[in-house]
Structure 1
């Protein structure tokens, strides 16, 4: 039983449950009563199992998680918590909305809660560059790099996102695909999605594949709903695509559902490849072929680096974790008319757009 299970049973979002556990006031009485009732009925004990733990000491290790539906972060967080619990360290986890400024939030948190160290699961380099200098405790950024930012108390552990996205394009090219679209994230190289986009685009160019950001790329948030809606916009513009690289598994989940809801199939109509290698990619229908990040390595090295900083002055280190391609069921041979046939069969192409 974890915070996501409580949220599902209570009918509220993870961020709302997190605020209730944290005792924050910006929650309606109805929501608070419902969530507390579910926690009580399930025997849920925040002090030992929650993703936001009440502090038993004045100086916890603070973990800030970007977004409430990033399943990769959930996999990493579980291992991080286990490592710290084994050491007797208190962990306080806060889930932030996707568009939140995590550094400004952490600055305020430092002033009121006085954590001994901080872990950032996800984050935008721009925010760190602008304001991280106000944070004085040892910190580690996970899944994005802090290299080049110049902060002695900020290390980072990530995969090489550009190289990983390029490897995904190589895989799709080897499968015969020559018209490949990209789905998810933003164009900003300061964000993870932007770095993946740049790596994918470089690989497409290296293979001589025609790619236009305006035509063949559709940005979106890292959620199932965003992927569901964005795939329609992308295919409406580029009906000749035979494959799409979704820059997150969660985006791929939504995109695949959209294809099936319109009468198509994956990979029969369109091949869709994910990114992150989340546990659920092995249980979706079809199972998603994806770039798999080594979540154990990301978690373990992040904890190791943070512990070094907590034990005394330590040089900031910026490390790369392994990745590989998890070959499953969502990529097949190219169907050059698959998307066009899907649109034609709908009789109203705006159905897919919506």
Structure 2
């Protein structure tokens, strides 16, 4: 039998209004009455109807998060940061995976709107005009995480991908490497592909090193298989290459695996630099030196930004978090 608020009121010998005020922490009752109501709630096993309450207060204490990839280590790190903040603020999270497919993305966004989420975190995907029009139509708070749109004022949290890639390449140069390959993302990706590629090229140019297209290979999903395949291509065509900058840790891990299969010692024969500092960087062998994004903090900051928006507080439209170099064992210093 379903226990109702009326049952709680009868057991606590008070009114339904008083029970409601106690449960919603609204005041207007004695401490003794509060104890009696909470005792009745506990003994009866009463659970308040969140749906009914949300219809009254126009708030569900739920946010939606859309990710392009379920298996990505980025997803794991971002979600940990998101959960850190939502848990402390009594919010629930609905997660949807879109595999970077526009049709699946629109379906996910419509589902979240139908669930009456209070806000949405849109993560690590290119923001097209169709998405922007839908965000404008539904008129609920949205925050971009690890992406942005130059055609929108929607707030975002990310690192500066150009500067981060520049610093990763410059680190290899400082360690004595002059012939540096790159396993890049899709150069038509304006969020991470193009900026990281341009950061690599800019660091070479600043050091008066030639930018050779033969030293660049392009992947499309920043994934392990891209890293394996493109490493083999780079090694086969560039015998003088001493280092590779991979545009993600998963790519770098794929490159290390290919190197083991080809009996190439990392870093004695070729150094490898990653990008992200996900868990995979620590478990790779040798452990991966990488450009570290503060991934968990990025997830946390995105939620904080969203909650301020939901509550009508002032918030920043742009949050750029600092990156760093995480040194491990995959880069060799050349005298």
Q: Give the structure-2-normalised TM-score.
A: 0.75
2:139 maps to 136
1:279-326 per-residue CA deviation (whole Å, 9 max, x = no partner) reads: 231222101000011124312221111001111275661110111000
SS in 2 for 1:325: strand
Residues 161-180 of structure 1: matches in 2 within 5 Å?
161-180=161-180
2:225 maps to 225
1:37 maps to none
Moved more, 111-120 or 262-271: 111-120
1:112 maps to 114
Could you tell me how far apart the structure 1 residues matched to 2:242 and 2:104 are? 37
Could you tell me how far apart the structure 1 residues matched to 2:326 and 2:206 are? 23
SS in 2 for 1:199: helix
RMSD over equivalenced CA pairs, Å: 2.4
2:181 maps to 181
How far did residue 90 of structure 1 move? 1.3
1:17 maps to none
Cα pair 1:218 1:233 within 8 Å, conserved: no
Q: Cα distance 1:100–1:228, how it changes in 2: closer, same or farther (>3 A)?
A: farther
1:6-29 per-residue CA deviation (whole Å, 9 max, x = no partner) reads: xxxxxxxxxxxxxxxxxxxxxxxx
2:247 maps to 247
Asked if residue 79 in structure 1 is aligned to residue 94 in structure 2, the reply is no
Could you tell me how far apart the structure 2 residues matched to 1:214 and 1:174 are? 22
Could you tell me how far apart the structure 2 residues matched to 1:231 and 1:69 are? 22
Q: Give the structure-1-normalised TM-score.
A: 0.72
Asked if residue 272 in structure 1 is aligned to residue 281 in structure 2, the reply is no
- Higher Cα radius of gyration: 2
How far did residue 104 of structure 1 move? 2.7
Asked if residue 213 in structure 1 is aligned to residue 213 in structure 2, the reply is yes
Cα pair 1:273 1:288 within 8 Å, conserved: yes
Q: Cα distance 1:244–1:134, how it changes in 2: closer, same or farther (>3 A)?
A: farther
What stretches of structure 2 of length at least 5 have no aligned partner?
1-49, 55-59
2:151 maps to 149
Asked if residue 61 in structure 1 is aligned to residue 63 in structure 2, the reply is yes
Moved more, 78-87 or 95-104: 95-104
Q: Cα distance 1:75–1:198, how it changes in 2: closer, same or farther (>3 A)?
A: same
What stretches of structure 1 of length at least 5 have no aligned partner?
1-55, 336-354
Q: Cα distance 1:101–1:180, how it changes in 2: closer, same or farther (>3 A)?
A: farther
Could you tell me how far apart the structure 2 residues matched to 1:293 and 1:195 are? 15
Cα pair 1:102 1:123 within 8 Å, conserved: no
Q: Cα distance 1:111–1:310, how it changes in 2: closer, same or farther (>3 A)?
A: closer
1:7 maps to none
Give 4+ residue runs of structure 1 displaced > 6 Å after superposition.
none
How far did residue 190 of structure 1 move? 1.6
Could you tell me how far apart the structure 2 residues matched to 1:204 and 1:219 are? 21
1:6-61 per-residue CA deviation (whole Å, 9 max, x = no partner) reads: xxxxxxxxxxxxxxxxxxxxxxxxxxxxxxxxxxxxxxxxxxxxxxxxxx757421
How far did residue 168 of structure 1 move? 0.6
Cα pair 1:158 1:320 within 8 Å, conserved: yes
2:198 maps to 198
Could you tell me how far apart the structure 2 residues matched to 1:194 and 1:95 are? 24
How far did residue 194 of structure 1 move? 1.8
